Amino acid sequence: MQLAFQKMQGAGNQILVVDQRNAVGVAPSLQLVRQIHGRDGCAGFDQLMWLGPPRTAGAAASYRVFNNDGSEVEQCGNGVRCVAVWLARQNDAPARFLFDSPAGRIEARIIGANRAAVNMGAPVFDDSIGTLEVAGQQIDVSVLSMGNPHCVLDVADVRSADVAGLGPVIERHALFPDRCNVGFMQIVDRSNIMLRVFERGAGETLACGTGACAAVAAGRRRGLLDDEVTVQLPGGQLVVSWRGGNEAIWLTGDAELISEGTIDL
């Protein structure tokens, strides 16, 4: 079987796009994703966006999201932006796309040659968890869903934060039976934060779109941030806008094509 792919990046987040909208009987699996990850030209991606035919009227496509270890997750903000920018490069592509995702319908808007904004929906907070006991210490956290689970904690200096040590422990904490993404947030001022994210199934990545949304939502809910915040991640910048309450969060950032090709499986 031959499989065409486009390798893209959004704020440093490596995204592999596989377009199977017109394929018949081809379905991804843990083994297949791992096999793709090991192939030349594909190795190094953080998430794989597997495009399928739309499930509802007006949608451009449906998608499923896989980490490079083969685990399937509910959402990937940077991945959606990459898919939208790639589709917009095609002839007569619209400036607005609707997608059917595991977390519901998602809207993406093209706002530049390599830039897109995505409606990520409203955050859902879990107020039953406010602290975690980790390595003998109590850590204040914000727990919420952006279609996928996130745990956000404040750090004084994101550059020296113990992401490698605390990330995997919090990811697999007993309070998170489905594991979670862990955000380490340093608030610079009301309009700027610095962030590192340890993603479940992928480890620390250069960027995480849903993680950026979760961090801003957590800080804004506590009255520490304005309704538009620039998020500085190791791989680049994202802009997150949220008016609060049940309003949707918008995630804006660049996406670019790195390479494309076909692999034999």
Output the pLDDT for position 106. Answer: 93
CA distance 212 to 51: 24
Q: Classify burial at 193, counting beta carbons within 10 Å of its beta carbon; exposed 0-12, middle 13-18, buried 19 or more.
A: buried
Same-domain pairing of 128 and 237: yes
Q: Is 82 assigned a catalytic role? A: no
Same-domain pairing of 73 and 128: no
Same-domain pairing of 20 and 117: yes
Provide the number of structural domains found in the chain.
2
Q: Is 180 assigned a catalytic role? A: no
Place of tokens 């991804």: 28
Collapse the DSSP code of 223 into the 3-class scheme (helix H, G, I; strand E, B; otherwise coil) and give the result: coil
pLDDT in tens, 99-122: 999 888 999 999 988 999 999 999
Cα dist. 206→10, 15, 211, 259 in Å?
A: 9, 11, 11, 18
Strands 228-233 and 192-199: parallel
Looking up residue 97, the CATH number of its domain turns out to be 3.10.310.10
Domain extent, residue 15, equals 2-121+254-264
Same-domain pairing of 111 and 141: no
For residue 175, give every residue at least 6 positions away whose Cβ sits within 8 Å of its Cβ, in sequence order, or none.
Answer: 129, 132
More confident residue, 41 or 58: 58
Tokens at residue 233, please? 């991640």
Phi, psi at 155, each rounded to 5°: -130, 150
Output the pLDDT for position 210. Answer: 95
Output the pLDDT for position 216. Answer: 98
Same-domain pairing of 75 and 20: yes
Phi, psi at 167, each rounded to 5°: -55, -60
Same-domain pairing of 240 and 259: no
Same-domain pairing of 71 and 184: no
Same-domain pairing of 133 and 242: yes
This model's pTM is above 0.85: yes
Identify the active-site residue in 42, 76, 151, 180. 76
CA distance 11 to 253: 7
Same-domain pairing of 79 and 117: yes
N residues, the chain: 265
Same-domain pairing of 116 and 22: yes
Same-domain pairing of 139 and 236: yes
pLDDT in tens, 151-195: 999 999 999 999 999 999 999 999 999 999 999 999 999 999 999
Bridge partner residues of 197 (DSSP): 183, 205
Same-domain pairing of 73 and 30: yes
Q: Is the pLDDT of residue 25 over 70?
A: no
Identify the active-site residue in 82, 180, 208, 213. 208
